[in-house]
Each structure stands twice: as structure tokens, then as C-alpha cells.
A = this chain, B = another copy of it.
């Protein structure tokens, strides 16, 4: 197999969706991502808890009325029973629903493709991980930034040792859409994302900080040792953090001094639409990536000039080239990266079923394990901030969970 976007089979996998009805943002993204390469076809949904909205959304999306559900539990049961039942479900609800929905489908033996963060609460994440371990169904978390070809190129460069010992990692995820009290004006996205009951204890740290942390892990391969976090709510009346400044310490690798890092997740950075940057500096080379220009990776071997590695360009490596659709100089973006996660999901599902035999060294999708790590990261940051930014280790959080 050369590229993720190539068809794995003549017919798409039947897909269901929970959440993502009219007015939602991420549901539409999942649908395009699922459809882009023809790997999935949406045939079923519990698109809204409001029956009328669910039906209207389903009709608009070409879902047959009998496969439009108002309860995810009913949907899991019914679809599992159908001979032509869905093979995977996309969960695109607010965070607090990830756990019960994912649990229902995993237990019904249906593969789950779930938006991030994994759950609203760490304890739920621990439980879900245990459920997942006992299920044959796969669990794919849509940390979509790992789908960018140049992020995959970066991961390969690090894995090959081209950066030497990693010393410093910096990730900033800056937005400004919550610079005003939008949730007090009834904006739907702002409302649930700033409601601790729906989003969890973390605000910016959970919504976007978890992406930044996942990206660091994915590219650097480093394991987080501890965080010192300073979370703030700048907008009056806001119930969760809208800015998170962090120091990071990573576990040592070999005999080198352990890497350190900085992370900033802000939703009040006036002027920033959605800028995620990653910088990794090692003893042999450094690399920089900016989501505003995702087709490029700046790579600088120590003592040499900076090189602009480009998606599908002459300097792109195998991990990157597997994840592209069009030649260099034809920009790809967010939806293509998201679709790569769906393509990885389709591939893994086909492989598990024996429908595809071929494998690639560069296959990867964010897993339950990654999701659990992300939840520990969020919990550690919240605890650290509550204790005046003292260092909180991830081990400390694992220790406090029941077996």
C-alpha cells in the first residue's frame, strides 16, 4: 500500500455517528473526514438528543429514518443486531458524553472513533481504558493533528535519531475566540466548553492543551514526568481556565540530561485564530512546525542552514509521504489531516478483520492509552495549578486511582 487515501476495499465501511446534529462544529468535520477518501459511509446516527433535530439532521444527511435513533444505547444495540450494522461509530458529543457512549458501543463490539479529550473525568478514562482492554472493538481518538504529514515527518526524524538527544520542547496553542464572555451570550460551543459539568475540570488546558501535549508526545516520543501549571480565567465569570502556562519535565532517555519543555494553551490570545506551534530542539538538530503553514517543516541540523521540508516534496520522508493526497505545492490542511485519522481507523478495522493484510511501519492512530495519558496530563495540570504551580508527577496521579 502506498498511501492512506487509496481505497482499501471497493465498498466503504458503514459508519454511525452520535452527536453532530445541526449547529455542531466537529460533527461536520468528522463527516467530511470520513467521506473524503471513500473509506466510510454514514448510514446511521443518534445525532441529537432532541428527536426532531435528530430526524431533520438525519434526513439532510441521507440517513434512512429507521437508522435514525434518539438514544445512543438503543442505537448500539440495534446496529449490533443488524446484519448490515455499522462497523464503527463516531462520537462527536460534548466531552461528558464520551464515556457512556463509548462504553455502550465498545460493549456492543462496535469500533469507536471518538473526539478528544477522552472523557470529562480522569476516573472515567481509567474505567474506559479497562473496558477497552477487554473489548475486541478498536478505539481511535481523533487527535487529528497527528494526521498532518509533516508532523509525521517530524516524528520519523526524531525516531531515526536525527535530532540527537531531545533537550527542549515548546508547544503553544493560541486562540482568541473566548477573549470575551461568549458563553454568557448563549453561543453553543462556548457554553458547553466552559461548563465544567460538560467539559470537565479543565477549560483551555483540556480543550486545546490536550492537543498540544499529545503532539509533543507523538513527535518527540518523550514521556512526561511532571508538570508545573499556572491556569487562569481572565474573563470575568468564566468557570474554567481560559489560559494555561506550563513548565514540563520529561523522563530521562539514556544518559542524556532529561528534556524540559514549555506549553501554553490560551483561548484569550487576542489576534490568534487557531495557531498551534511545535518546536523541538535536540543535540543534533532542531525542528519547527506551525499549524498556520502545515505543509512545511523547518529542519536545522546543528551547524547547517535551515531547510524547508515540504509535504510531498523532495525532503519528505516515508511517514509523511504515506499520508498525502496531492503533490507538493498543492496545499493540504485540517480536513486532510483529520481524514488521515479516519483512514488509519479504516485500515486498522480492515486489518483486524483480515480484509487488508498489508501493513506499514508508519501506521498509527491515537489510542485509548494516548487518551488516558492526556487525561492524566489535564488532571496533573489542574492539580498543580490548584497548589500554586508545584510540580505534579503523572505517577502521582496513577497512584491515586483505584485498581
A135 at the binding interface (Cβ < 8 Å)? no
Most B CB within 10 A of own CB, among A5, A168, A266, A299:
A168
In the complex, A316→B168 CA distance in Å? 27
How many residues on A have C-beta within 8 angstroms of the other chain's C-beta atoms? 98
User: With A168-B269, A260-B245 in contact, do A294 and B176 touch (Cβ < 8 Å)?
Assistant: no
User: With A269-B168, A270-B300, A389-B228 in contact, do A330 and B334 touch (Cβ < 8 Å)?
Assistant: yes
A350 at the binding interface (Cβ < 8 Å)? no
Instruction: Report which of B243, B285, B302, B315 forms a contact with A168, defined as CB distance below 8 A.
Output: B243
User: With A167-B243, A331-B331 in contact, do A176 and B286 touch (Cβ < 8 Å)?
Assistant: yes
In the complex, A279→B247 CA distance in Å? 18
A168 near B11 (CB under 8 angstroms)?
no
Cβ of A150 to closest chain B Cβ, rounded Å: 12
In the complex, A310→B274 CA distance in Å? 12
Q: Considering the complex, which residues of chain A in the window 270-324 have a beta carbon less than 8 Å from any beta carbon of chain B?
A: 270-275, 279, 281-288, 291-295, 298-310, 313-315
Cβ of A144 to closest chain B Cβ, rounded Å: 10
A232 near B245 (CB under 8 angstroms)?
no
Cβ of A185 to closest chain B Cβ, rounded Å: 14
A230 near B260 (CB under 8 angstroms)?
yes
- Chain B positions within 8 Å of A266 at CB level: 168, 281
In the complex, A331→B269 CA distance in Å? 19
In the complex, A290→B388 CA distance in Å? 31
Please name the residue on chain B nearest to A326 by beta carbon: B334
A222 at the binding interface (Cβ < 8 Å)? no
A234 near B306 (CB under 8 angstroms)?
no
- Chain B positions within 8 Å of A301 at CB level: 270
A60 at the binding interface (Cβ < 8 Å)? yes
A329 near B275 (CB under 8 angstroms)?
yes
In the complex, A163→B179 CA distance in Å? 12
Instruction: Report which of B10, B59, B261, B272 forms a contact with A329, defined as CB distance below 8 A.
Output: B272
In the complex, A272→B167 CA distance in Å? 14
Add 4 more A-B contacts to A168-B243, A269-B286, A292-B295 (CB < 8 A): A245-B247, A266-B281, A269-B279, A270-B282
- CB-CB nearest 3 A-B residue pairs: A274-B329, A271-B300, A273-B329
A interface, CB within 8 angstroms of B: 5, 7, 10-12, 25, 28-29, 31-32, 35-38, 59-62, 163, 167-168, 170, 172, 175-176, 179-180, 228, 230, 232-234, 236, 243, 245-247, 249, 257, 260-262, 264, 266, 268-275, 279, 281-288, 291-295, 298-310, 313-315, 325-336, 388-391
